[in-house]
Amino acid sequence: MMKRAIVLILIILMALPLGIQVSAAEESHPWQEESVYRIQVDRFMNGTNENDQTVSPEDPEAYHGGDLQGVIDQLGYIKELGFTAIELSPIVSNSEDGAHGFAVDDFRAVEERFGTMEKAKELVEEAHSKDLKVILDFPISYASNEHPWMEDESKDGWFLNEEEWVPTNVWQEGLPELDTSVPDVRKYLVDAASFWVNETGVDGLRLAASPNVDTAFYQSMAKEVQSPDFFLFSNTKPDPETVTEGYLDGFSDQRYQQEIRKSFAQFDRPLNELYSLYEQNEELYSEGVPVHAIDDGTDARFTHLAVKEGQNPVTRWKLALTYLFTSPGVPVMNYGTEVPLDDGGTLGDIRMMNFKMSDEQIEERIENLTSMRKQFKALTHGDYQLLHKEDGFAVFKRTYEGESVVVAVNNSSETKVMKMENMEEGQQLRGLLQDGMVRQQKDGTYRLGMERETADVFIVEEDTGYNWLFIGFVGGVLSLFVIGVTAVSIKNRKE
């Protein structure tokens, strides 16, 4: 009797309709639909000891042994988190102090401590087999003090005067800056970038560029490497013409990164400036795709900022990631966020990634957010309407082709409630993170409430009321199970 009941339950459950997800392989996605996992190759995973020349894991500024094979070995892990693309820190050949990738000594060779060009090709092929796109960080402005060009008299005019150097992060301080306005320099770098694209088959390049790089350079680069499916963008905000004319497909905004880090490192900080930056960028770069990150390896880890503020970094990360993945732009998450890694405020003082140390709450939030971006196009293509802002409590709505999503982020130390305006009759907001539900009140209004330091993503849909059919079905299944257990118990007592 018991066995028959269990079999019946299983048959009924298996007969239920299942949702079907469309994988990336079944259709081509525009880049704004991607979710990117950024990897600092040297600090990610040591896949083989064969290339561990001059590796010193105890020295924060030295190479630690991470390599391309290590990335290949963990592609499945990245895929399981829900990401659709990876971004690799520069893998071009660097000097002894170039674990970060900017002290380039050969623009057309793979850093030997990372692997070979054949291994780079293998990485791209393996990523593509898992429906993951690959972006390479490609330095175009800086070179090592040990680069052969520094001793080559014929290259004297290839570099800017030292007083003209403009580093964009601490790793580039003291590095000679190339003069990309010189035709020979421009041609060399464009040819080198084209070489990497053709040799490896990567899907995009993030150009690590100084603000001195002009529109003419980007135009030359675009002419050589761009294609309909290729994503070319820079680490800085270039002249608007560079984007509006299509020479770059996207851009990064360092002000956005600074603001999102500051806003979410502590509760009760307003989120107004993030929306203001969106409006400014939308006006200047309406044709481009913004690429946003919280950490990108060029500043202290956000985890450390939260700890320094006396905050729980897990709570802080959950809020910041929710905003990053649901607001306009391509979200880029730095490796180790899921742990979350803390560098103690010393840039570079990060040990090799420990894949057994992930925080369950952060990992679950990441998986939920990447899944939502795949399922709801309003989060990747929708407009961006700010509905409410008050003392760290922000609510915004994104709509695309009739699909609407409302995102509520309460970055305050108090429970917040807002009255929803312009809602149609008979709708409901179904929460995807907190499982909350907002329904129309008797007076016709909708009230959305959020506890302190929480966030949720709501789907706006027709209010269908309680699903009594499903509730009855579940009750029936449970009743069968109880009857079966009771029958077995009675039989056992009689025996």
- Residue 486 in any domain: the answer is no
Give mean pLDDT, residues 395-421: 96
Distance CA 410, CA 420 (A): 15
Whether residues 298 and 256 fall in one domain: yes
Q: Which amino acid is at 130?
A: K
- Of the three residues 344, 375, 406, the one that is the final residue of a domain is 375
Whether residues 117 and 158 fall in one domain: yes
- State CA 406 to chain mean position distance: 20
Whether residues 168 and 92 fall in one domain: yes
Whether residues 167 and 243 fall in one domain: yes
Instruction: Please count the structural domains in the chain.
Output: 2
Range list of H helices, 155-200: 183-200
Distance CA 337, CA 120 (A): 25
- Residue 12 in any domain: the answer is no
Give mean pLDDT, residues 418-443: 91
**DSSP summary character for residue 343:** -
Instruction: Compare 441 and 407 and report the one with higher pLDDT.
Output: 407
Q: What is the pLDDT of residues 467-482, one digit of tens each?
A: 444 445 545 656 666 6
CB atoms within 10 A of CB 73: 17
Whether residues 303 and 450 fall in one domain: no
Q: Is 286 exposed, middle or buried (0-12, 13-18, 19+ CB in 10 A)?
A: exposed
Whether residues 242 and 339 fall in one domain: yes
pTM of this structure: 0.88
Structure tokens at 176: 């000679």
- Of the three residues 375, 402, 432, the one that is the final residue of a domain is 375
- Residue 176 in any domain: the answer is yes
Give the pLDDT of residue 436: 87
Residue 92 exposure: Cα atoms within 13 Å on the Cβ side? 27
| pLDDT level of residue 435 (50, 70, 90 thresholds) | confident
Give the pLDDT of residue 120: 98
CB atoms within 10 A of CB 300: 17
Which of 337, 332, 321, 249 shows the shortest CA–CA distance to 34? 332
- Residue 469 in any domain: the answer is no
Which of 427, 482, 480 shows the shortest CA–CA distance to 13? 480
Contacts of 374 (CB under 8 A, 6+ apart): 21, 33, 82, 84
Distance CA 144, CA 150 (A): 9
Element (H, E) at 73: helix 68-73
Distance CA 217, CA 190 (A): 9
Distance CA 332, CA 69 (A): 22
Give the pLDDT of residue 379: 98
Whether residues 76 and 115 fall in one domain: yes
Bridge partners (DSSP) of residue 399 are 404
Distance CA 36, CA 139 (A): 19
Four-residue CA torsion sign, 66, 67, 72, 73: negative
| pLDDT level of residue 4 (50, 70, 90 thresholds) | very low
Q: Which amino acid is at 328?
A: P
Give the pLDDT of residue 470: 42
Whether residues 146 and 293 fall in one domain: yes
Residue 23 has pLDDT above 50, yes or no: no
Domain of residue 419, residue span: 385-462
* Residue linked to tokens 């305050």: 412
Share of the chain above pLDDT 70, in %: 88
Structure tokens at 179: 């003069």
Whether residues 41 and 149 fall in one domain: yes
Give the pLDDT of residue 361: 98
Range list of H helices, 201-226: 215-225
- Residue 8 in any domain: the answer is no
- Of the three residues 335, 352, 375, the one that is the final residue of a domain is 375
Distance CA 300, CA 305 (A): 8
- Residue 9 in any domain: the answer is no
CATH of the domain at 452: 2.60.40.1180
Q: What is the pLDDT of residues 291-344, one digit of tens each?
A: 999 999 888 999 999 999 999 999 999 999 999 999 999 999 999 999 999 988
Structure tokens at 329: 């732009």
- Provide the angle, in degrees to the nearest 10, between the axes of the packed helices 2-14 and 468-494: 160
Residue 17 has pLDDT above 60, yes or no: no
Residue 142 contacts residue 177 (beta carbons within 8 Å): yes
Contacts of 487 (CB under 8 A, 6+ apart): 1, 2
| pLDDT level of residue 170 (50, 70, 90 thresholds) | confident
- 36-39 and 330-334 strand pairing: parallel
What integer best gives the mean pLDDT of the chain? 89
CATH of the domain at 89: 3.20.20.80
If you compute the radius of gyration of the chain from its CA atoms, what whole number of angstroms results?
26
Give mean pLDDT, residues 143-165: 93
- Residue 482 in any domain: the answer is no
Whether residues 283 and 400 fall in one domain: no
Kindly report which listed range (159-173, 376-390, 401-415) carries the lowest average pLDDT score.
159-173
- Residue 301 in any domain: the answer is yes
Whether residues 139 and 197 fall in one domain: yes
Whether residues 334 and 429 fall in one domain: no
